[in-house]
Structure 1
């Protein structure tokens, strides 16, 4: 049987403008868009709320937060995945690239990071196939070059694994996000409970791994990205030279450039610029790097990521709409632009023929309030 839903009297967020109108979805697809505030019988009266494409999240650590809600507390993965999925649906996100680290340090040192990516990816996929998840899940492999096992872990993934993004992650102490060693020490020791001696051993271990294996790991990551048909992303580019290296690798999006100079170089190279919505909402970076607002005011921001606060995605997009005086442009940073950056051509815009991922919200004070979410035409929140 045909399933049809019509949203009426909404501020419909189109790719370039916001118009008052109605949207019809039929069997999971957008089938018509009309202008006017009329509310015919049988339609959903949106009461002037915004109706935008479902939000698309390219980089989030939220699943890991549910898997380890406290230090050294391992939560059952099935429960963590379901809770993560429900939280994202509740804040208007209908497509997520779950960020999973590949590249582990398996020896018994303070730097130890256990191997987990392949098993977790299989768990997510099994739950997706069983219909346990509300929204569309894809994979973002965070390829850590300061590791022992990166090439072999990348080989465990194939074209059927829904890997949409692979990012080059280089957490060598003293560069990129952690140029400030005092901030790096405070972050690592606070997060992992290391003593001063253990922290020093951690720094030595990571630096040694980068010097010995880093270049080979970068080469393996670029090759795996091509094999998987994924988008290659850089992470925490700080200097124009690092951006130039990213461009040579074929990077298409830069996650969280840390300086104005790096963002300007990304623009010159035609690399999309991703910034954290929490950075924008808080008014600055928690690591002391460039503020997202500064990049927005210099037209150097293309995509927002919720990073570690899912609810920040919609709030940040609305905030950008206010900064730019253009709500359609602000919301494009969490809809059309991330769809284009990850080669998802069937969503991210309210256009006929596209997938019916829809988020309804209104703005009350400074807070966007989600009032309904539809994924592939089905209400999920």
Structure 2
């Protein structure tokens, strides 16, 4: 890697504005950000492409599909992590929080069995320098699972853990207030018979009543003692938001109603919604659309969730809608704001002194095409 790189003739997108300009990368950080073209011989012409900050992904379970690429198929975890990492960096994501689910609502699922292998594979690849994006861990705690608290306490001290979310996917509330949608989703996803579905619902409701409140309080207390960022999940009512704010959470993941999103935003929680929701034009669960929250000015963060390439595409779509989000504000939802919400104050925007995490992209017929990605000024894609 050269000691200094000069990238010129680019459409630079900072947290405040966009302009044709030049970036200088030195010692892994942005050492100069200026308008206009550079005339020095070593400057690299970007051909008018966008230069944007490397994307920050707070919540993706993309690794799971590589651990189990087909039903009944377990893939070697080291290979799965590297394949996942390649997809992540190709999407322009330079910092990713791999979401590891503690507590599996799938009666035939392998999440709990795969958890140690996934964590060890991520940590080993990071330590060996084999990953191109920087990987952190996000522990997603399914509160209604009997073993969630004990497994959480086994994992929370891992040095890569930096974000924890608490969720309850039992029927009749939050994401699945509409029980018909719950039945449709889980019968379709897990191929349950009607009798199996009835037993599944009965078990999930009973577990929620027995464990959710107790697990939520204990996990929140442990996170505060360790200084970990906390996220709520699927808040639907004002009471849910008041509880989350009272627990000192900084992120509201996937609020399901406009009321909950507005209240979360007003309480200082950063409202996170799925980028696929923007790309597809709505929620697959029948809840509030992310674009609707943007129209009310209460959408703060986008997450690719299950589809890494959706992150930049959704931000560009957001900037093109009638909602008050210009391009810098839309790109901030996938860079500056998630970085700040997770306590990563050294990255997330193009600014002198911050990490030179960067992507080069152009837009062709409405599709974002990522051409290069740098992490700390080193090209990784």
TM category, shorter: over 0.9
Q: SS at 1:71's partner residue?
A: coil
Q: Find the counterpart in structure 2 of residue 221 from structure 1.
A: 219
Task: Report if the CA contact (8 A) 1:104-1:115 is conserved.
Answer: no
Task: Provide the C-alpha distance between the structure 1 equivalents of 2:16 and 2:236, rounded to a whole number of angstroms.
Answer: 32
Task: Report if the CA contact (8 A) 1:110-1:194 is conserved.
Answer: no
Task: Report if the CA contact (8 A) 2:3-2:26 is conserved.
Answer: yes
Task: Report if the CA contact (8 A) 1:222-1:249 is conserved.
Answer: yes
Task: Provide the C-alpha distance between the structure 1 equivalents of 2:353 and 2:115, rounded to a whole number of angstroms.
Answer: 35
2:235 to 227, 234, 237: 237
TM-score when normalising by structure 2: 0.95
Q: Find the counterpart in structure 2 of residue 272 from structure 1.
A: 270
**Is 1:23–2:44 an aligned residue pair?**
no
Unaligned runs of 5+ in 2: none
Task: Provide the C-alpha distance between the structure 2 equivalents of 1:198 and 1:159, rounded to a whole number of angstroms.
Answer: 37
Deviation at 1:105, TM superposition (A): 7.4
Q: SS at 1:155's partner residue?
A: helix
Task: Provide the C-alpha distance between the structure 1 equivalents of 2:5 and 2:198, rounded to a whole number of angstroms.
Answer: 59
TM-score when normalising by structure 1: 0.95
Q: Find the counterpart in structure 1 of residue 11 from structure 2.
A: 11
Unaligned runs of 5+ in 1: none
RMSD: 1.8
The 5 A counterparts of 1:327-366 are 327-366=327-366
Q: Find the counterpart in structure 2 of residue 140 from structure 1.
A: 138
Q: Find the counterpart in structure 2 of residue 90 from structure 1.
A: 90
Deviation at 1:200, TM superposition (A): 1.2
Residues 110 and 307 of structure 1: CA distance in aligned 2, closer, same or farther (over 3 Å): closer
Task: Provide the C-alpha distance between the structure 2 equivalents of 1:67 and 1:244, rounded to a whole number of angstroms.
Answer: 37
Task: Provide the C-alpha distance between the structure 1 equivalents of 2:105 and 2:268, rounded to a whole number of angstroms.
Answer: 34
**Is 1:296–2:290 an aligned residue pair?**
no
Task: Provide the C-alpha distance between the structure 2 equivalents of 1:360 and 1:13, rounded to a whole number of angstroms.
Answer: 11
Q: SS at 1:197's partner residue?
A: helix
Task: Report if the CA contact (8 A) 2:230-2:250 is conserved.
Answer: yes
Deviation at 1:336, TM superposition (A): 0.3
Q: Find the counterpart in structure 1 of residue 258 from structure 2.
A: 260
Deviation at 1:111, TM superposition (A): 8.1
Cα displacement string for residues 244-283 of structure 1 (whole angstroms, at most 9, x for unaligned residues): 1111111111011111111111122111101111111111
Aligned residues: 379
- Between 181-190 and 152-161, the greater mean CA deviation after superposition: 152-161
Q: SS at 1:161's partner residue?
A: coil
Q: Find the counterpart in structure 2 of residue 281 from structure 1.
A: 279
Task: Provide the C-alpha distance between the structure 1 equivalents of 2:262 and 2:121, rounded to a whole number of angstroms.
Answer: 40
Task: Provide the C-alpha distance between the structure 1 equivalents of 2:244 and 2:233, rounded to a whole number of angstroms.
Answer: 9
